[in-house]
Structure 1
């Protein structure tokens, strides 16, 4: 099995604390090898013991059992992330203001159309390509009304976003 980039939604924000040492331990207990993490925001790199989807669901269950909260786990191959980065449709003035938001599934076309036409008040640019939502925030994500809740409600699927700086670093790390 090839190395995967495993992204966990909303870790170490609000009340959802998950030390990266504990995340590495959970992944190892589930049979993953070549386990490492990158920054404390739920970025895990590993070789899962079997099908990626099975590992993702097992990790979700293990996080819930050990820490008492539910979080989506979404994994991508290095090539998936590289393709998403190459497909980013917006001019990148600052990589930290442009995001790939990995979704748990492909949203329905009618929901995508309605969602990307919405005005969130911050001048955000939005486009869904496959299982990824691409976002460009003109002034950063911090004050945007384009929240995880708004994305999940609008598209009908959960996801988790990383800025292009982080995506690039994860691609590099996944190749090591």
Structure 2
């Protein structure tokens, strides 16, 4: 299967925001997507949107909100964009590395200010384009970095995936 986009949905199947992957695939198909599949139950959808990817992302956000009663950001990238983000990861083979895919590109000032903060566990951060690269040397479960803090600090929101999941999504999309 070849998918034109990897669609990442923020914070599903955690904290009571249930989104069955079978239903997500159905919704995507109902919105006109082809080559639809999902990977693990954490909001990873692979598909070829019918037309404009941004319009598809917004329609998917609305469909999820209408059916499940909560709003979650939908962020999509091409397999090439995911591959570039993985290649650009600046912290080497960090076993606790993550890429936080953002809804837009933060200002250089916001990125610099946010990435220079000390979160207390030795985290390293760098914004490259629309991606926040994070190394959690003490593990992602110990960090004080939150989605709300990222949104406030960078002025844009997003959703994170570890490097292993990102690599698998690229493999599945190609």
TM-score (norm 1): 0.96
Query: Residues 64 and 141 from structure 1, CA distance in 2 versus in 1: closer, same or farther, beyond 3 angstroms?
Result: same
Counterpart-to-counterpart distance in 2, 1:54 and 1:149: 25
Counterpart-to-counterpart distance in 1, 2:127 and 2:87: 14
Match of 1:91 in 2: 92
Counterpart-to-counterpart distance in 2, 1:124 and 1:80: 24
| Deviation (angstroms), 1:140 | 1.2
Counterpart-to-counterpart distance in 2, 1:120 and 1:92: 21
| Deviation (angstroms), 1:93 | 3.6
Question: 1:142 and 2:141 equivalent?
Answer: yes
Q: Which of structure 1's runs of 4+ aligned residues deviate more than 6 A?
A: none
Q: How does 1:65-80 map to 2 (within 5 A)?
A: 65-80=66-81
TM-score (norm 2): 0.97
Match of 1:20 in 2: 21
| Deviation (angstroms), 1:122 | 1.1
Match of 1:151 in 2: 150
Counterpart-to-counterpart distance in 2, 1:172 and 1:27: 20
Counterpart-to-counterpart distance in 2, 1:155 and 1:148: 10
Counterpart-to-counterpart distance in 2, 1:70 and 1:17: 12
| Deviation (angstroms), 1:120 | 0.8
Match of 2:122 in 1: 123
Counterpart-to-counterpart distance in 2, 1:26 and 1:122: 40
Counterpart-to-counterpart distance in 2, 1:112 and 1:47: 31
1:63-89 CA deviation, whole Å, 9 max, x = no partner? 000000000000000000000000000
Match of 1:47 in 2: 48
Aligned length: 173
Unaligned regions of 5+ residues in structure 1, if any? none
Counterpart-to-counterpart distance in 1, 2:97 and 2:21: 25
| Deviation (angstroms), 1:21 | 0.5
Counterpart-to-counterpart distance in 2, 1:100 and 1:134: 5
Unaligned regions of 5+ residues in structure 2, if any? none
Match of 2:35 in 1: 34
Question: 1:163 and 2:159 equivalent?
Answer: no
Counterpart-to-counterpart distance in 1, 2:10 and 2:20: 14
Match of 1:106 in 2: 105
